[in-house]
Amino acid sequence: MLEMIIFFVITLFVIGGGAMVILSTSPALQIAGFMFCTLSLGGEYLLLHQSYLFLAQTMVVVGAIVVLTAIVITSINQKESNIPKEGIRYMYIVISTLLVTPFGLLIYKTLISILPKNSIEFSTKGDINSISIELFSNWILPFEILSVLLLASLIGAVAIGRKDKQ
């Protein structure tokens, strides 16, 4: 019971960090929210006794991706005149959330009905062998697609935020 309470508290920290990234206008606060969110996810892995995932989350995501994102954000020349005016930003966030939520639930229900029960079985010890077998046998293509997508989004962010428009 105590683990469930801690899990939900950490989940609130993840949601808070994500909200900080979305709602903050300061790049420093956005980076701090991103780091807060990823560290909280690492805490959830640790709570689930997945020590390898905790270490990978902490070292790779916080140690590399957050630092890379911080370098990209600080290297972009952000001036108040270059930032578009967002008068009704919160309304757009609420409306888009309300529009996307039913589709997310539909996809979730569809995947739950299609996938067989216990299709992903990790060891409760979180050992490297079981994770690597599962990752490199079934999840290598989505992993590589996600890495290319993240790289493309960082390149797009730099291209959009460049000082000189060519």
Residues 143-156 pLDDT 10s: 788 888 888 887 88
Q: Which CATH class is domain 2-85+122-160?
A: mainly alpha
Lowest-confidence pick of 9-23, 80-94, 99-113, 127-141: 80-94
pLDDT higher than threshold 60 for residue 166: no
pLDDT higher than threshold 70 for residue 41: yes
Q: CA 54 → CA 18, 23, 44, 79, distances in Å?
A: 19, 27, 8, 37
Closest to 45 (Cα-Cα) out of 55, 35, 37: 55
